[in-house]
Chain A
Amino acid sequence: MRIPLDWLKEFVPVRWPAQDLAHRLTMAGLETAVVGGDLEVAVTPNRGDCLSVLGIAREVSALQGRVLSFKKTTAPKGGEAIKKCLKVQVQDRKGCPRYMARLIRGVAIKPSPAWMQKRLEAVGIRPVNNVVDCTNYLLAELGHPHHAFDSRFLRGDTIVVRREKAGTKFKTLDGETRECEPADLFICDEQGPVALAGILGGANSEVRPDTKDIVLEAAFFDPQRIHATAKRLKISTESSYRFERGVDPNGVENALHRVCQLIMQTAGGLPSRDWIDLYPNKIRPKQINLPAAEVKRILGLPIAPAQIKKILKSLGIAGTIPTWRSDLTRPIDLIEETARIYGYDKIPESRPRITVGLQEKPKGRGLYQAAARCLTGLGFTEGCHLGFVGEREVGDKGVALSNPLSADQTHLRDSLVPGLVKSALFNANRQVQSLKLFEWGKVFRWENGKVKEDRCLGLLAFGNEWPSQWQIKPKPVDFFTLKGALTRLFQAWGLEPFETEAQSQGEAVVLWQGVSIGRIDFLNLEVPMYVCEISLEKIIKNYQTQPAIFKPISPFPFVERDLALVVDSALPAQKIGEAIRQAGPPWLETFRVFDLYKGEGIEAGKKSIAFSLRYASKDRTLTNEEVNRAHEALTAHLEKTLPAKLR
C-alpha cells in the first residue's frame, strides 16, 4: 500500500527522513520501501488496521514513543430528519453488526478537485467523480469503505441488509453478473439487491453524472463473510480487502461524518439532520492481562513492567485493547507488540540447552543417500521433476487436482517415468547424445478412499554407455545397463539380490523377495531409451541396517573351469544357473556368465552360453583330479537335464 508522506504528516509529525522511517517501520513488522518519495508498505493480513494513512500514522507515532492524538470530525449539520425519507432493517445481524446511513440532497456531480485526484492517484485509485472520490479518499485515509447510492434508484424507502436465495443473479457496477449463494450478504431495497455488501455496489444504483441525492452507507461487516464471498466470486476490491481484514466497528461513525464533510466540500448538497445507526450489540474494547514474567519467558529478556506499559500505551493499549486492533486477543499478542516496538534487534541472541537423546531420522533416508552415492558413481545424474502430469499420463487410480494450473498439469504423477522421459527428450533435443538419469520421489494413487503415497526410484538411459573417449570404443546402452545399475545398487544397500522376469519383448518385471516391485522397459521413442522404476516401500519397510558379518578368508587357492553350453535360445540363463548351483559340488564357490553367442556354428534356435566356474574349498586345497571329476559330472548332468550340449 502506498502512503504519501505529506498525507501522513497531516496526522503525525515525522521525526525521521523517509529512508529512516521506512527502515524503522520495516523493523517493526511493516515492510516498507521508499518509492518516489512516498512509502510503499507491505501490510501482513493480520494488520487490517494498517491499511490507511491513519493506521500507519498510529504506528509511526508509537515508534516515536507516544500515542497518536487523533481529532474526530464533528458531524456536519443538516436539514430534514432522516426517518422521513429512509429506513434501514438489518435482517442478518451476524453478518452486519453495525450499519449507518445518511442522506445528502442536492449534490453536483463533477470531477473532484485536483488535490484530491492527485492523492488518489498517488495511492493507486483512479478518480471517478467527486462523490465516489470522496468515499475512496476516506478509504485511503481512515481505512473505512463507504458506498454511495443514487437515492433515485432505491425502490421504496427501506434499505434491508440480508441474504438472498441461492442462484440470485446480480449485476455489480463493474458490469459482471454474479450468481450468489445463500451465505452472501446483500444490501437490498424493497425490490431486491442494490449492492453486494462490503464488496461492490450494484449497477442499478450507482452514482451517475446527473445524480442529485445520495444515500451514504458506512458499516461494519463480518470479515469472514466478506472473505468467503469475495474469494468465491474472485473479486477483490479496496472495500472487500479492508472489510475482510477487519475495520474498526467503533470508527464507523467518525468516518461517516468525515466523508459527509468531504462531499459537502467538493460536491455541495445538504445532509439530513440526523443519521441512522443500527448497532444493537456494541463491540467493546477487551482487556488482556499480561504478566511481566510471561514476557521474559517468551522473549528471554526481562523488560521492566514500566517499559512494557509505555510501549503498549504508545500503541493505544492502556488497560483495554482498542477495537481497531481485532488481531490482539491473547497475552502472546501483547508480547509480540512489546517485542516489535522494543526492537527484535535489541533482544540478545542465546543458545538453548538441550536434552541429549538419540536423534530420529526417517527410515528411507539412509537408503536414499546410499542410492545417490552409488548411482552418481555409476554416471547417473539426479533429476527432480514437477510432480504434476496430464490426464493421459496417469492410470485409473490417478489423483486429480480440482484446481489445476494448466491442462498438462491436471493430476499428481503416478509414476516417475513421464518426468524422466520429458527430461531425456528435453536434452536429446538440445544435442545431448547420451544420458543417464535417476530420480527418487513420491508417486500418488487412490487406494480405498485414501491417497497412497509411494516412494519410487526411477532410472533412465539412452545413447552410449560411457563418455566417448579416445581409448574405449562406444557401446550403446541397453537393458543390461539398467539391470546392472540396479544390481550394483542392491549390493550397495546390502540387500539380497532381485530377480528379473521377462514380460514380453524387452520388458521385464523386477522381483524382490518373490514380489514384483517394479519393471525395466524399453521405450521406442524418437530417441530410443530404457527406463526402470521400482517402488521402494517394501524395501524401506524391510530394511534393517545390519552390519555385514565377517567371513574368515580362506587360505586355500581356487580353481577355475569354463563351461560352454549350447542350449535352446529360449532357455533363461537364470534356469541354467539354478541347475549349476543345484548339481555342482558344495565347494562350487561362484560362477558367472562370460560369453553368449548365437550365429555361425550354432544351430538355429540355439545359443551358446559360457560360464566360468570357481571351485574352492574352505578346508583344503582341491586336487586337479577331484575338480575335473566334479566338473565333468556337472557337465554330464547339465547335458542330460537341461538339455544342453557341450560346445
Chain B
Amino acid sequence: MIEELRAKIKTIQEKALQEIAALQNLQDWQNTKARILGQKGSLTQILKTLGGLSPAERPALGRLVNEVKREIERRLQDIQKTLEETKRRQVLKEKAVDVTLPGLALPQGRRHPIRRVMEEIEEIFLGMGFSIFEGPDVETDYYNFEALNFPKEHPARDMQDTFYIGLRTLRQGSGQATDHGLRTKEKEQLLLRTHTSPVQIRVMEKQKPPLYMIAPGTVYRHDDDVTHSPMFHQVEGLMVDTDITLGDLKGVLHHFCAAVFGTDREVRFRPSFFPFVEPGAEVDISCALCKKRGCRVCGGSGWLEILGAGMVHPAVFEHVKIDPKRYSGFAFGMGVERIAMLKYGIDDIRLFYEGDMRFLEQF
C-alpha cells in the first residue's frame, strides 16, 4: 500500500514536472496549477488518502507529499516568471509605436520681444530695490518739457520731435467738429510724451525722498526710419536720497549693464546733455561683435550707446519742491527697442510692430 502510494506520488511528480516544463502560456499555467494543486488536483487527492494510513506510516508519506508539493510549487513559480516576461514582451510588441514620430503638438504662444526685454529690465531694478510707476501717454507741455527744465524756445526741445494733440474731433460723415476745451496756456498744451521722464515729476510731486523708481512705458516721437519708430518704449529711472552721487550713478548703471548684457562687456560713461540732468552722461557698452575694434554695428567706434543719464538738475527739484541742497539724485533712461535690437541682433525697428509671425516666433 505504501509503496504503491509512493510510486503513485512519484508518477504524479514526474508527470507534473513534465507538464510544467512544457507550459507555453499563462492560461495553461493556471489550468495546470489547478489540475495538480487545486481542490480536485491530483496531489490534493493523494493527500486526502493519507488519512487511511496508520499513524506510523502517515508522517513519512506526509513529508514526501509536502516535499513534492513544494517542488511543484517552486517549479510553477519559476515558470510563471518566465511566462509573464514572455507575455509582457508580447504585449509590448503588439503595442509597439514608431517612437520617432513627433509628440503631441501643444499650442504655445510667444511673448513679444519688447515686453520680454521690458520685464527683464524691470526685474533687474526691482531686485535692486526700485519701485515701478506709470503715467499717462498723453501729457501736457508742463510735465513733458517745462518741469524737466527744457527752456521754452530752446533747441533742446528739437531733440525730441513731438506729436501734438488736436483739440477738435471731426464727426465722421457729418463734417461737424467737437471741441474738447481750448487750452490757451502753453503749459497745458496736450502732446504725446516724448519720454517717460514726466513720470518722475508726477511721482516727486506726490512723494518725497528717499525715492527709488523706474517708469516703463510707451513714448512717441515724430520720426520714422530704420532705427526710429514714431512709437517706442522707454524705461526711465530715478534715485533720489541724501548723498546720492555721480559715483553711485556709475555703480548702479554698470550693475544694470552687466545684468542685461553680461559681465564681459565694458561700460563707459561720457558727458552729454539732457536738460533735466546735470552733470549729464551717456552710457556706452563695448561692442560685442568687433570687441571694440570698430564695425558696422557700432558705427566704427567700438562702443554702443544704450543709456542716457545724469544727476537730477536742481531746477527739476525746485519744480517739485524738493530741496536740492539736502537731496541729490540721478536719473537715467533707455530705449527698450534699442536694447532688444542689440540683444537679439535685430536691424530694423519696424519689425517689432508688424506682427510678422516669422519674427515673433523667434523669441
Contacts and interface: CB of A to CB of B under 8 A. Distances in A.
B112 A383 contact: yes
A356 B164 contact: no
Given A298-B328, A336-B278, A359-B130, A437 B355 contact: yes
B251 A391 contact: no
Nearest to B248: A352
B170 to A, nearest CB: 7
B107 A344 contact: no
A432 interface: yes
Contact of B137 (A352, A355, A453): A453
Interface in A561-598: none
Contacts of A395: 172
A231 interface: yes
B154 A344 contact: no
A377 interface: yes
Interface residues of A, number: 106
B165 to A, nearest CB: 6
A398 B178 CA distance: 10
B109 A332 contact: no
Nearest to B138: A451
B301 interface: yes
Interface stretch (B12-20, B57-65, B82-90, B98-106): B98-106
Contacts of B361: 381
A354 B129 contact: yes
Nearest to A339: B279
A397 B158 contact: no
A365 B214 CA distance: 13
Interface stretch (B27-35, B41-49, B239-247): B239-247
A297 B129 contact: no
Interface string B126-146: 100111111011100000000
Contact of A45 (B166, B220, B244, B273): B273
B295 interface: no
A352 B138 contact: no
A466 B247 contact: no
B185 interface: no
Contact of B268 (A345, A430, A441, A469): A345
B132 A365 contact: yes
Contact of B166 (A375, A402, A472): A402
A347 B250 contact: yes
Given A381-B360, A471-B104, A386 B231 contact: yes
B278 A332 contact: yes
Nearest to B171: A396
Contact of B248 (A351, A359, A436): A351
A362 to B, nearest CB: 5
A491 interface: no
Nearest to B224: A405
Interface residues of B, number: 98
B211 to A, nearest CB: 10
A382 B280 contact: no
A48 B84 CA distance: 94
Interface string A312-340: 00000000000000000010110110011
A453 B138 contact: yes
Interface stretch (A99-107, A282-290, A442-450, A521-529): A442-450
A469 B171 contact: no
B353 interface: yes
Given A359-B126, A423-B355, A396 B172 contact: yes
Nearest to A446: B180
Given A383-B355, A442-B218, A362 B132 contact: yes
A435 interface: yes
Contacts of A297: 243, 245, 328
B245 A377 contact: no
A379 interface: yes
B273 A44 contact: yes
Contacts of B301: 33
Interface string A447-463: 00111010000000000
Nearest to B118: A384
Contacts of B195: none
A385 interface: yes
Interface string B261-278: 000000011111101001
A349 B106 CA distance: 49
B246 A29 contact: no
Nearest to B251: A349
- Among B132, B136, B155, B178, chain A packs the most CB atoms within 10 A around the CB of B155
B131 A361 contact: yes
A376 B106 CA distance: 11
B105 A467 contact: yes
A560 to B, nearest CB: 27
Interface in B201-215: 210, 212-213
Contact of B245 (A350, A402, A444): A350
A381 B154 contact: no
Interface stretch (A5-13, A221-229, A531-539): A221-229
Contacts of A386: 229-231, 353
Interface string A210-242: 000000000000011101100100000000000
Nearest to B283: A344
Nearest to A229: B153
Interface string A59-99: 00000000000000000000000000000000000000000
A262 to B, nearest CB: 28
A47 interface: yes
B136 A446 contact: no
A33 B353 CA distance: 33
Interface string A491-513: 00000000000000000000000
Nearest to B203: A360
Given A332-B314, A384-B112, A438-B109, A405 B230 contact: yes
Given A297-B328, A352-B252, A340 B230 contact: no
27 contacts: A27-B270, A45-B154, A224-B154, A301-B245, A333-B278, A344-B250, A344-B271, A347-B246, A347-B247, A350-B250, A355-B210, A360-B133, A379-B107, A386-B230, A403-B163, A403-B222, A424-B355, A427-B356, A430-B356, A436-B107, A446-B169, A451-B136, A467-B106, A467-B107, A468-B105, A469-B102, A472-B104
